[in-house]
Amino acid sequence: MQKLLAWVDQRFPLTKVWEEHVSKYYAPKNFNFWYYFGSLALLMLVIQILSGIFLTMHYKPDTSLAFASVEYIMRDVPWGWLIRYLHSTGASFFFIVIYLHMFRGLMYGSYKGPRELVWILGMVLFVALMAEAFMGYLLPWGNMSYWGAQVIISLFDALPFIGPSLAEWLRGDFVVSDATLNRFFSLHVIAVPLLLALLVFLHIVALHKVGSNNPDGVEIKKKKNADGLPLDGIPFHPYYSVKDTVGVAGFLILFAAAIFFAPEMWGWFLEHDNFTVANILQTPPEIKPLWYFTPFYSILRATTDDLIKYGLLPFVLALTALTLVSVRELKTKGIVVIIAGFVVAGFFGLEAKVWGVALMGLSLILFFFLPWLDRSPVKSIRYRGWKYKTALTIFTISFVMLGYVGTQPAEGIYKMCAQIGTLVYFAFFLLMPWISTYDKTKPVPERVT
């Protein structure tokens, strides 16, 4: 065995890679509950790919066959129901894990230097995962699949100039049709999964270059022993491989419970309207995406003329004034005024629909800039002051609220909640430079606690 390993090592860096990334990858010793979700996300990716491979063996990407082939998997294929529910319930669990993983990053400042690239790669992963989930949802060719895709692709129609031809190019037809279903199948089973795998690889390579953050936000590489190993680090294997196995076991209990007892989660994981075949003459009474898209969908729906006039316009003017007071350089001030001028002109010149799409896009883009919007000298919420803690709490509550109202009709109190939530969402990111600058932080310990 030793001889074989030596033979391989002369030809391939097997032991070197194993040591670098597993057995001698030193991770902080104080990881808590929140650090389960990285490895759980990887587990979910593997589950989705495996269950997807077997679904592809029976599924037919054809508008006249697709819906029936899913029924066939559910009823006639041995264990087909289990594989299908693993995949469909798995999608929701994947997003639960990812949202908690991202929340961990917000709490402990994992996006801050030197981990900006880890964060950005993670955000690209998140966007790619959203695309993957969106395209997968068309495949059963249920009525909600059809109309959901119709609405989301129409978003591109709203873009000035290129919009209509771009939407036509994405659909491959004038409406969502067989051509659309077929290409979504292709992208869902091969293109995006390959991209996801590549991005996960890059995400982990970037992480292992800079090392993991921890609940104290202390850089363990700053304090090393005589051998050059971090004093507060322990090898990933066996310490965290064992800990993560416990996490996996706990997670799988919950996952299995959902699959066996509530795979549709009363319409939250699989919508009732998707149990009838797509009907181009009949919209479901309420078109709504699955829960993991609804925070962003709420922002889209909340953007009406009222929100622009009474919410966004004062917000942009106030933000501009605040920036002008805060920056010193004359050139920067000029740039700020020009940008604000364009935005305000756009508020009057462009339709509310265009702004809805733009804000939905911006709500994702802002996440990418978080490492630079946050000016705080400390990472972890443990050593931040009340300002950041309050901001993160309000943001989290309003994000969940946006998610909930996105599943409800866009009227009355729901519409108002969505509009308030939208303003809170953007305020969290765009006021972050001031919140984090003026927040009174506590001293960070030298070593992890």
Site residues (vs another protein, CB under 8 A): 147, 150-151, 153-155, 157-158, 168-175, 177, 179, 183, 280-283, 285-287, 301, 304-306, 351-353, 356, 409-411, 415
For another protein, which is the closer residue by CB, 280 or 318?
Answer: 280
User: Cis ω on the peptide bond leading into residue 238 (within 30° of 0)?
Assistant: yes
For another protein, which is the closer residue by CB, 26 or 147?
Answer: 147
For another protein, which is the closer residue by CB, 186 or 326?
Answer: 186
Structure tokens at 191: 């293109």
Q: What whole-number distance in Å separates Cα of residue 302 and Cα of residue 425?
A: 12
The distance of closest approach from Cβ of residue 88 to another protein in the complex, given in angstroms and rounded to an integer, is: 23
For another protein, which is the closer residue by CB, 76 or 286?
Answer: 286
Q: What whole-number distance in Å separates Cα of residue 108 and Cα of residue 97?
A: 17
The distance of closest approach from Cβ of residue 297 to another protein in the complex, given in angstroms and rounded to an integer, is: 10
The H or E element that residue 233 is part of is: strand 233-235
Parallel, antiparallel, or unpaired: how do β-strands 26-28 and 233-235 relate? antiparallel
For another protein, which is the closer residue by CB, 71 or 157?
Answer: 157
Q: What three-state secondary structure class fits 216?
A: coil
The distance of closest approach from Cβ of residue 344 to another protein in the complex, given in angstroms and rounded to an integer, is: 20
Residue 371: half-sphere exposure toward Cβ, Cα within 13 Å:
15
CB within 8 Å of 238: residues ≥ 6 apart: none
The H or E element that residue 27 is part of is: strand 26-28
The distance of closest approach from Cβ of residue 438 to another protein in the complex, given in angstroms and rounded to an integer, is: 38
The distance of closest approach from Cβ of residue 240 to another protein in the complex, given in angstroms and rounded to an integer, is: 39
- Please give the full DSSP string across 379-425, using - where no structure is assigned: -SGGG--HHHHHHHHHHHHHHHHHHHHTTS-SSHHHHHHHHHHHHHH
Q: What whole-number distance in Å separates Cα of residue 239 and Cα of residue 258?
A: 29
The distance of closest approach from Cβ of residue 254 to another protein in the complex, given in angstroms and rounded to an integer, is: 33
For another protein, which is the closer residue by CB, 123 or 278?
Answer: 278
The distance of closest approach from Cβ of residue 404 to another protein in the complex, given in angstroms and rounded to an integer, is: 17
Q: What whole-number distance in Å separates Cα of residue 134 and Cα of residue 130?
A: 6
For another protein, which is the closer residue by CB, 9 or 173?
Answer: 173
The distance of closest approach from Cβ of residue 174 to another protein in the complex, given in angstroms and rounded to an integer, is: 6
Nearest residue to 61 (alpha-carbon basis) of 182, 144, 184, 142 = 182
For another protein, which is the closer residue by CB, 125 or 405?
Answer: 405
